[in-house]
Amino acid sequence: MTVTRRNLLIGTGAGLLATAVANVARAQHEGHDMRNMPPPAAARPSTPGARGRVVTPNGWTLPHRMNNGVKEFHLVAEEFEHEFAPGTTAKVWGYNGSTPGPTIEATEGDRVRIYVTNRLKEHTSVHWHGLLLPSGMDGVGGLSQPHIQPGETYAYEFTLRQHGTHMYHPHADEMTQLALGMMGMFIIHPKDGEAEAIDRDYAILLHNWALHPGTYRPDPSILQDFDLWTMNSKVFPAIDSLTAVAGERVRIRLGNLSMWNHPMHLHGHVFQVTGSDGGRWPKGLWRPEVTEIVGVGQTRDIEFVATPGDWAFHCHMSHHTMNAMGHELPNTVGVNQRGVEEKIRQMLPGYMAMGENGMAEHQDHTDAGHMPGPPNTLPMMMGSGPFGKLEMGGMFTVLKVRESGAHSDWYQNPAGTVARRVSSDPGFGQPPRRQR
């Protein structure tokens, strides 16, 4: 048996202390690998698309060709290596070398023909999630068509009779094929243009991955206990930031093919929810929100007028903004670990007891390169901003709105508009406190 930090510790202790020690060690062990750490840098901004075109941050749009009035696309189901952020890669499945697969963009009324070539070693199919089409084009393997066997190419062909934000994914060995990354967005523009002109149009597909620490293949058997939470199959800080100029109308199209619902929260704005997989809603049904739950298998469109600043945009399930193993850790808050560190260091040089006062010190230690961990595993918290560490990961990115088109890395706050320190004395002032 390989001697790891975890089994070494679990095998040497007894009683409460040993359990606490092993738990702390597990917390440290499973969250960190300093060997391939990305620099604590800002993500690159998304490149704006042409007006009316969708930008898929960290992703791309599938080109098409016209053939006698039919828009032809070609998807290839295949296995390849994918990077979630520098330091963590995995063997995943997707389309045309990417997860999510390339975004398909078309217009209401288009006749589309989509070739699907299967380069996997098992059969597959593609379901066009939310699209109105003939039953035989719906892509449920065994129900609406024969499965697409390895090496085969099938053609799907139908006319787009609606518009909105939709998705595509396999309907064959679905649990495995989705868990390994096979999914994409299918966006249909309205024939008659938008009710409100859109300046920036972003598409983000939400997903989760059971890429256990130290492993290279997502585990398809996991129901809830995921390690990575992604926007377009990337984790913060590798997720492209969303950019806009003040006053522009921005739409973010969100799709969810993960195993959890995601309450997506935007700072600094009240957005309107303007559509779903059911299409673009009539204006009378739009509703103002700052957090919108995107349920499993659903899409939501949100729109807002951009306000200058650097604004967080993230899932509000706080574990979904952590990287590997930020969840289900033993609770070390308030646990006095004096003496423990020295004892463990006799077996594991460099061991650090952490978590007594909170978890934020994790990022200090991992950024500083203090602790080795399993290979191919991201720390649970990452990323830095102009004022310090962000202590985030997973489904988190930044909406960067500037007064003009010139992009600056971080927002230049006008004088007097940043929260400031007024005292370093814990006894400062006389705040009212509840009597006990």
Q: Which is nearer to Cu ion, 148 or 204 (CB)?
A: 204
Please give the Cα distance from 403 to 141 (Å, whole number).
50
Q: Which is nearer to Cu ion, 49 or 295 (CB)?
A: 295
Please give the Cα distance from 294 to 215 (Å, whole number).
29
Q: Which stretch binds Cu ion (CB under 5 A): 129-137, 212-220, 258-266, 350-358?
A: 258-266
Question: What are the CA-CA distances from residue 176 to residues 7, 76, 186 (Å)?
Answer: 30, 17, 21
Residue 360 CB coordination number (10 Å):
12
What's the distance, CA 353 to chain centroid?
30
Among 29, 262, 362, 400, binds Cu ion (CB under 5 A): 262
Residue 365 CB coordination number (10 Å):
17
Q: How far is the CB of 412 from Cu ion (least distance, A)?
A: 31
Q: Which is nearer to Cu ion, 140 or 273 (CB)?
A: 273
315 binds Cu ion per the rule CB under 5 A: yes
Please give the Cα distance from 315 to 318 (Å, whole number).
7
If you compute the radius of gyration of the chain from its CA atoms, what whole number of angstroms results?
A: 24
Q: Which stretch binds Cu ion (CB under 5 A): 218-226, 305-313, 319-327, 421-429?
A: 319-327
At 271, give phi and psi (nearest 5°).
-100, 165
In the shown chain, the binding pattern of residues 98 to 117 toward Cu ion, with x for contact by CB under 5 A and - for none, equals: --------------------
Q: How far is the CB of 262 from Cu ion (least distance, A)?
A: 3
Q: How far is the CB of 314 from Cu ion (least distance, A)?
A: 8
Please give the Cα distance from 46 to 107 (Å, whole number).
23
Q: Which is nearer to Cu ion, 145 or 299 (CB)?
A: 299
Residue 143 CB coordination number (10 Å):
12
Q: How far is the CB of 208 from Cu ion (least distance, A)?
A: 8
Structure tokens at 9: 């510790």
For residue 105, give every residue at least 6 positions away whose Cβ sits within 8 Å of its Cβ, in sequence order, or none: 53, 54, 61, 62, 187, 188, 189
Q: Which is nearer to Cu ion, 147 or 262 (CB)?
A: 262
Q: Which is nearer to Cu ion, 223 or 422 (CB)?
A: 223
9 DSSP 8-state letter: H
Q: Which amino acid is at 349?
A: P
Site for Cu ion in 7-46 (CB under 5 A): none
Q: Which stretch binds Cu ion (CB under 5 A): 14-22, 213-221, 316-324, 328-336?
A: 316-324
Strand, coil or helix: 340: helix
Q: How far is the CB of 315 from Cu ion (least distance, A)?
A: 3
Q: Which stretch binds Cu ion (CB under 5 A): 149-157, 266-274, 311-319, 405-413?
A: 311-319
208, 226 contact by CB (below 8 A): yes
Structure tokens at 230: 């992604």
Closest CA to 178 of 107, 253, 241, 125: 125
280 binds Cu ion per the rule CB under 5 A: no
Q: Which is nearer to Cu ion, 243 or 298 (CB)?
A: 298
Q: How far is the CB of 206 from Cu ion (least distance, A)?
A: 7
What's the distance, CA 82 to chain centroid?
14
Q: Which stretch binds Cu ion (CB under 5 A): 102-110, 140-148, 181-189, 318-326?
A: 318-326
By CB under 5 A, how many residues form the interface with Cu ion?
Answer: 4
Q: Which is nearer to Cu ion, 242 or 322 (CB)?
A: 322
Q: Which stretch binds Cu ion (CB under 5 A): 59-67, 254-262, 268-276, 402-410?
A: 254-262
Per DSSP, which regions of 108-215 are E strands?
A: 111-118, 127-129, 153-159, 164-169, 184-189, 200-209
The helix (run of H) or strand (run of E) holding residue 282 is: none
Q: How far is the CB of 264 from Cu ion (least distance, A)?
A: 8
Q: Which is nearer to Cu ion, 258 or 377 (CB)?
A: 258
The number of CA neighbours under 13 Å toward the Cβ of 90 is 27
Q: Which is nearer to Cu ion, 269 or 320 (CB)?
A: 320
Residues constituting the chain: 436
Q: How far is the CB of 390 from Cu ion (least distance, A)?
A: 17
317 binds Cu ion per the rule CB under 5 A: yes
Question: Which positions lie near Cu ion, rule CB under 5 A?
Answer: 262, 315, 317, 320
